[in-house]
Amino acid sequence: MLNYLLVSCFLLPFLFIFFKSKSNTKSSPKSYPIIGDYFIIKANRHRRTEWTTDLIRNSPTSTNVIRRPYDHDHVLTGNPAVVEHILKTNFPNYQKGIPGHNVLFDFLGDGIFNVDGDQWKSQRQLYSHVFSTKSLRYFVEHVVDTELNERLIPMLATAAANDTVLDLQDILQRFAVDSICKIAFDYDPASLIPSLPPTKFAVAFDDALRITLMRFFTVKPMWKIKRFLNIGSEKQLKEAKSEIREFTKKIQSKKPSSDNLLARLISSGHSTEGFVTDVLINLIFAGRDTTPAALTWFFWLVSKNPGVESEVVKEINKKSDSPSYDEVKEMVYTHASLCESMRLYPPVPVVNRTAMADDILPDGTIVKKGMTVGYHPYAMGRMEKLWGPDSKEFRPERWLEKDEKTGNVSFKDRDQYTYSVFQAGPRICMGKDMSFSQMKKVAAGVLRRFKVVPVMDDEPSLITTITSKMRGGLPVKIKERK
């Protein structure tokens, strides 16, 4: 029976490849009946983000349709008008949807990043406490400050003294895990300690991210068959899921304080182990993978642009040795540099939704119910029509404006549909201010004292995963700043 199914799924469609291929636009890949764009999707499986960026940049409408084999078409856009339509104007029509929920469920469960409607609204309300101004101030001045001065800075000082190479991406992820677990759950995983012990949790989390994403680009019946048979990547995902949930059990076994997210979950009646686990995993995902990804690319870009580094350090040196929450908010040039870094390397390069009903996008693209419709922050950050001829350059000044009368320089924001790094509309990221506060605090602590020197000259490449991680990490040497 299984052999017959495999033949039906894979051999039969190849009879159609002799048919004339079709393509909607000059920028679209060649499509074939039944299997769609299978060949070009497979050929670009290791550089999916870059490939789809080229498709969008070469499209007259900045929107492209990819024909997925045995599945609905996938619409990807870098058009701000379409992004606004998806995230705001017709928001109810573009949801996670059942297909997307099913793909992500084994990893994210029914957490906030994988649900719609009332489930999403109720969790958003629960999360609001973590991101209040009071919590942000405490996070910056106590949690991040302690992790920075008692763990990160001493570790970097030792590396500088011994001229050793560190993987900064790994270091920043450990820093983030400790920080988010402390503020949200009053739990210290102690990931960032001198011995840098390999953690099963970190490996499992990376595996779960990678395998879950691959489901989106795998012929739908295959990953479900592999899951049913418990073989290959699906067996690996099951093992990773078990390891991640063991980690969350340690958090839940500790009696929570009366003023954190875990305590509020329990007191609100959301005390089932499965739901609490889903909430924990989703929040750890947000804190562990997005902010560290942004910081990793920031340190690499700053190291390659001495003029920018000089300006950032100059601003940092005007603040106290351990900047307060208010001082961190005033770091305008550093803020602009982080925005510019995330323009080029957004923490989440592509965000997808499912169409709940037929629709026509503002650029004329026809959408059918069940189709995946995504917007592409990575591609948008590289489009000349949005950012000018220097769109590929790292230039923080594009985010600044000077008052001719006073000479003061202030931050100049962009509309959230052109710069969609933190999403927009009803689902705009609740953790935006917390992310910026943490990143500026870390940048100030590190760059005040050290120079970060990458040991490779070539531009790092992206791993094909949900977040913009560097393939192979970011190996660096740390030098004491004179």
**DSSP of 202-264, one letter per residue?**
HHHHHHHHHHHHHHHTS-HHHHHHHHHHT-HHHHHHHHHHHHHHHHHHHHHHSPPPTTSHHHH
More confidently predicted of 30 and 361: 361
Q: For residue 294, give the 3-state DSSP assignment.
A: helix
In Å, what is the CA distance from 441 to each residue of 48, 64, 244, 436?
33, 39, 29, 8
Q: In the prediction, which pLDDT does 15 show?
A: 39
Which whole number is the average pLDDT over 368-387?
A: 96
Measured CA to CA, the distance from residue 120 to residue 95 in angstroms comes to 11
Q: Which residue has the higher pLDDT, 183 or 26?
A: 183
Of residues 450 and 138, which shows the higher confidence score? 450
Task: Name the DSSP letter for residue 409.
Answer: E
CATH number at residue 175: 1.10.630.10
What does the pLDDT read at residue 258? 62
Left if phi > 0, otherwise alpha if psi is -120 to 50, otherwise beta: which for 76? beta
Radius of gyration of the chain (CA): 23
Is the pLDDT assigned to residue 22 strictly greater than 90?
no
How far, in Å, are 83, 222, 420 from residue 415 at the CA level?
Answer: 11, 41, 8
**pLDDT tens-place string over residues 188-234:** 999 998 888 778 898 999 899 889 988 887 777 789 999 999 999 99
Looking at the DSSP assignment, which residues form a beta bridge with residue 63?
77
Number of domains in the chain: 1
- Which span out of 71-80, 222-231, 285-294, 392-401 was modeled with the highest average pLDDT? 392-401
Locate 439 and state its tokens: 């990143």
**pTM as predicted:** 0.89
Strand 366-367, strand 359-360: pairing: antiparallel
- Average pLDDT for 349-358: 95
**CA-closest candidate to residue 437, choices 149, 136, 142:** 136
112 versus 465: which is more confidently predicted?
112
Model confidence at 12: pLDDT above 50: no
Segment 140-180, tens digit of pLDDT: 999 999 999 999 999 999 999 999 999 999 999 999 999 99
CA–CA dist 262, 301 (Å, integer)? 37
* Residue 478, pLDDT above cutoff 90: yes
Predicted confidence at residue 31, as pLDDT, reads 65
Question: Residue 76: enclosing H or E segment and its boundaries?
Answer: strand 74-77
273 or 312: whose pLDDT is higher? 312
Closest CA to 184 of 127, 248, 260: 260
d(CA 363, CA 156): 50
58 dihedral zone (left: phi>0; alpha: psi -120 to 50; beta): alpha
pLDDT higher for 455 or 23?
Answer: 455
Sign of CA dihedral 432, 438, 442, 445: positive
CA distances from residue 319 to 67, 149, 229 in whole angstroms, order as listed: 53, 16, 58
Give residue 211's pLDDT.
Answer: 92
What residue numbers bound the domain in which 95 lies? 2-480
Residue among 184, 186, 380 at smallest CA distance from 282? 184
| b/e burial code for range 244-277 (CB count within 10 A of at least 16 → b) | bbebbeebbeeebeeebbbbbbeeeeeeeeebbb
